[in-house]
């Protein structure tokens, strides 16, 4: 399979974790005789330094011409003092909007060796396997007007706007994903207060008619926030609007107690997607060989699954991560009992060794068949 992959390492630990994802993908491509072409672009603070623009035209064009995009992380204290009109995060927001990436997917599942790292009880966490689908390009974060008014600017206005088609396409995506999982969709809204939520609910009920095999439930956002830490194993696919999704996905990410482990995907209706870890640029540990590269590596696995349809290859990466953690290897952010703490580059080497081991065993078995 020939695929062009845009590689945007970004800032802070971005380049360190990205090097891991690219090495792992190269290994997979060699094992399975694919042809992945990696092309790098600047985004965020590093792009501001070079071009005075967090999303230069060259990077946007590279992304538009690629089959998928891998992104490390953007931002850091170096760019915090820059006037609000040019900030690293704007590069990422603009990229999502320009590429039409309307559905943000965040899987959260329990990794057995890490269960005790959660602040929740073992029995609450151990069977968690949920996927949050967040609408990413509409709602409050993109509403107009968004401004200060009045003589002394004493009034602040933000607007929550949703168009029917924006809701339809993300809800449709959630149902499609649920069909490949445990066939349950929880739609989250605030329909007792917000008109946009009442429209959201109507659309969900309409789309649900096409998926009679999928169970649908509606839940208010405040109740969902509570249920997520009370009984998180009840959820399969959660679909919700931008602001609620932002908050709930951060809450859900702490169920497993390991920010450095979590991948994400941002998709549109075709197969093109942007894949990035949930964590930020972690400037406190940048350049120290301490970053956990697994969130980025698992994001690369999501890319193989969702954009390229390479489920087997994606599973091999996920198994390599699980096996390495089961052997007790971990970076400093994870607190494994009886574990062996290693650095970023050593963790990347372990994952690659595990992929090779898996392939060698498969090769031997195939030779005997």
Return residues touching ligand NAD (CB under 6 A): 13, 73-76, 89, 92, 259-260, 276, 279-285, 291-292, 295, 331, 333
Query: How would you write 191-256 as a 3-class SS string?
Result: CCCCHHHHHHHHHHHHHHCCCCCCEEEEEEHHHHHHHHHHCHHHCCEEEECHHHHHHHHHHHHCCC
CA angle 293, 296, 299 (to 5 degrees): 145
> Least distance in Å: CB of 51 to ligand NAD?
18
Active site residue 368: no
Active site residue 189: no
Considering the candidates 141, 183, 211, 353, report the single residue annotated as catalytic.
141
| CA 368 from centre of chain | 40
* Exposure class string for 152-188: b at 16+ Cβ within 10 A, else e: eeeeeeeebebeeebbebbbbbbbebbeeeeebbbbb
**Smallest Cα–Cα separation from 258: which of 117, 158, 142?**
117
Considering the candidates 30, 80, 158, 222, report the single residue annotated as catalytic.
222
Looking at the Cβ atoms of 177 and 282, the one nearer to ligand NAD is 282
> Least distance in Å: CB of 253 to ligand NAD?
10
Looking at the Cβ atoms of 59 and 292, the one nearer to ligand NAD is 292
Residue least distant from ligand NAD (Cβ) = 280
Active site residue 80: no
Considering the candidates 246, 275, 305, 329, report the single residue annotated as catalytic.
246
Active site residue 141: yes
**Smallest Cα–Cα separation from 78: which of 45, 100, 109?**
45
> Least distance in Å: CB of 106 to ligand NAD?
12
Looking at the Cβ atoms of 138 and 295, the one nearer to ligand NAD is 295
> Least distance in Å: CB of 67 to ligand NAD?
21
Active site residue 350: no
The residues assigned a catalytic role are 141, 190, 222, 246, 250
């Amino acid at each position: 399979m020939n695929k062009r992959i845009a590689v945007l390492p970004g800032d802070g630990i971005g380049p360190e974790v990205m090097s891991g994802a690219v090495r792992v993908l190269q290994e997979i491509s060699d094992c399975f005789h694919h042809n992945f072409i990696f092309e790098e672009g600047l985004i965020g603070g590093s792009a501001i330094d070079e071009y005075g623009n967090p999303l230069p035209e060259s990077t946007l064009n590279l992304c538009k011409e690629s089959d998928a995009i891998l992104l490390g992380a953007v931002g850091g204290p170096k760019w915090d003092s820059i006037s609000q009109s040019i900030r690293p995060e704007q590069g990422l927001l603009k990229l999502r909007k320009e590429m039409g990436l309307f559905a943000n997917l965040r899987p959260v599942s329990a990794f057995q060796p890490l269960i005790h790292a959660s602040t929740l009880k073992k029995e609450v966490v151990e069977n968690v396997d949920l996927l949050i689908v967040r609408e990413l390009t509409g709602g409050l974060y993109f509403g107009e007007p968004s401004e200060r008014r009045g003589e002394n600017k004493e009034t602040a206005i933000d607007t929550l706007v949703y168009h029917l088609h924006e809701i339809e396409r993300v809800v449709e995506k959630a149902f499609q994903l649920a069909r490949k999982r445990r066939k349950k969709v929880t739609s989250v809204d605030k329909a007792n207060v917000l008109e946009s939520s009442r429209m959201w609910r109507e659309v969900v009920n309409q789309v649900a008619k096409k998926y009679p095999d999928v169970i649908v439930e509606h839940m208010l956002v405040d109740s969902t926030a509570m249920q997520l830490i009370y009984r998180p194993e009840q959820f399969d696919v959660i679909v919700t609007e931008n602001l609620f999704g932002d908050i709930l996905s951060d809450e859900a990410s702490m169920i497993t107690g390991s920010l450095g482990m979590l991948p994400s995907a941002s998709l549109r209706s075709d197969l093109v997607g942007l894949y990035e870890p949930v964590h930020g640029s972690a400037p406190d540990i940048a350049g120290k060989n301490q970053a956990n590269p697994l969130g980025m590596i698992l994001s690369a696995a999501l890319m193989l699954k969702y954009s390229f349809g390479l489920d087997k290859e994606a599973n091999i990466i996920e198994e390599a991560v699980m096996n390495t953690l089961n052997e007790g290897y971990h970076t400093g952010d994870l607190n494994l009992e009886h574990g062996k703490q290693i650095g970023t580059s050593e963790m990347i080497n372990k994952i690659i060794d595990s992929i090779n081991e898996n392939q060698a065993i498969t090769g031997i078995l195939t030779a005997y068949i």
